[in-house]
């Protein structure tokens, strides 16, 4: 538990809430219900093992903060996540009600590990990310988001065997995840690439017969596997131009998946989205 003021609020609450939820208790020394609620919140914070943080704000000493958050009566408790207020309650509450409030606010341990893994990946620390993903899955084997991230990590590393193992353990609900189309398309490309002829041979086939859509598909899969997205998109767009129905609209569907994989190159994605639209319409 820490005490915050107007000067420290951004650091102690807004910035800190990007790591774990922060619960702010607006109180005052003269407030009887505050004296009952405060120790209870402090006890629950100690029990949480760092899953959330408690910050206390003396409303008498910080009227600007009280006005900013519309505090008209105390105790007033407001929770922050990712720098924003997300939930609150007014007045002293029984312990059961506060625990229910916190359970909705605080992610389970598996989700926390997943957050740590994604932060490590963003920081360019794949080994640390892998450890957190392993922890997330151990804590909750049904955490499909952690498994999908693991598949991506192993594909980045070129470890197709372990990527396939993790993919096979996904639950049926995984197909509803936003990452599913991208991850499944990338894994399929890597698996196909492992059995395809050399890219030079595929290029010679296309040069000899530009209408060889099977060769174009295979070359696109090889380029996806090597993360050469521009070359993959060029082949897929040519498939769309020559035969929209090929492979049940495979060219367009694969292009949409590659757009997600290449999100880090918005100019490339924008260019090929425009070219795809011009081809279709």
Burial of residue 236 (CB within 10 Å: 0-12, 13-18, 19+) is buried
State how far the Cα of 64 lies from the Cα of 58, in Å rounded to an integer.
Answer: 11
Question: Catalytic residue at 68?
Answer: no
Per the CB < 8 A criterion, the answer to whether 97 and 47 are in contact is no
- Decide if 164 contacts 191 (C-beta within 8 A): yes
Catalytic residue selected from 4, 34, 187, 257: 34
Q: Edge-to-edge strand order for the sheet containing 22-27?
A: 2-3, 53-58, 22-27, 76-81, 84-90
Give the CA count within 13 Å in the CB-facing half-sphere of 56. 18
Q: Is 212 left (phi over 0), alpha (psi -120 to 50) or beta?
A: beta
| 229 carries an active-site annotation | no
216-219 long-range contacts (CB < 8 A, ≥24 apart) are 217/246, 217/247, 217/250, 218/192
Among residues 13, 23, 31, 79, the one annotated as catalytic is 31
Indicate which residues carry an active-site annotation.
Answer: 31, 34
């Amino acid at each position: 538990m820490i005490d915050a003021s107007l000067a420290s609020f951004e650091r102690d609450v807004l910035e800190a809430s990007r790591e774990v939820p922060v619960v702010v208790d607006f109180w005052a020394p003269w407030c009887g219900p505050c004296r009952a609620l405060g120790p209870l919140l402090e006890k629950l914070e100690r029990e949480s093992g760092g899953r959330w943080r408690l910050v206390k704000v003396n409303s008498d000493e910080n009227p600007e903060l009280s006005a900013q958050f519309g505090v008209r009566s105390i105790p007033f408790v407001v929770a922050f996540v990712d720098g924003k207020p997300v939930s609150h309650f007014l007045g002293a509450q029984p312990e059961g009600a506060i625990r229910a409030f916190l359970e909705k606010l605080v992610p389970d341990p598996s989700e926390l590990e997943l957050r740590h893994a994604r932060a490590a990946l963003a920081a360019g620390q794949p080994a640390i990310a892998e450890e957190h993903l392993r922890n997330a899955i151990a804590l909750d084997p049904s955490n499909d988001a952690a498994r999908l991230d693991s598949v991506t990590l192993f594909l980045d590393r070129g470890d197709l065997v372990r990527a396939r193992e993790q993919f096979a353990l996904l639950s049926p609900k995984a197909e509803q995840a936003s990452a599913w189309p991208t991850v499944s398309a990338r894994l399929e490309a890597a698996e196909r690439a492992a059995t395809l002829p050399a890219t030079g041979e595929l290029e010679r086939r296309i040069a000899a017969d530009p209408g060889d859509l099977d060769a174009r598909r295979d070359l696109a899969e090889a380029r996806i596997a090597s993360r050469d997205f521009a070359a993959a998109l060029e082949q897929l767009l040519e498939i769309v131009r020559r035969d929209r129905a090929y492979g049940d609209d495979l060219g367009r569907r694969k292009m949409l998946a590659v757009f997600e994989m290449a999100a880090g190159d918005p100019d490339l994605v924008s260019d090929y989205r425009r070219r795809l639209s011009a081809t279709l319409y």
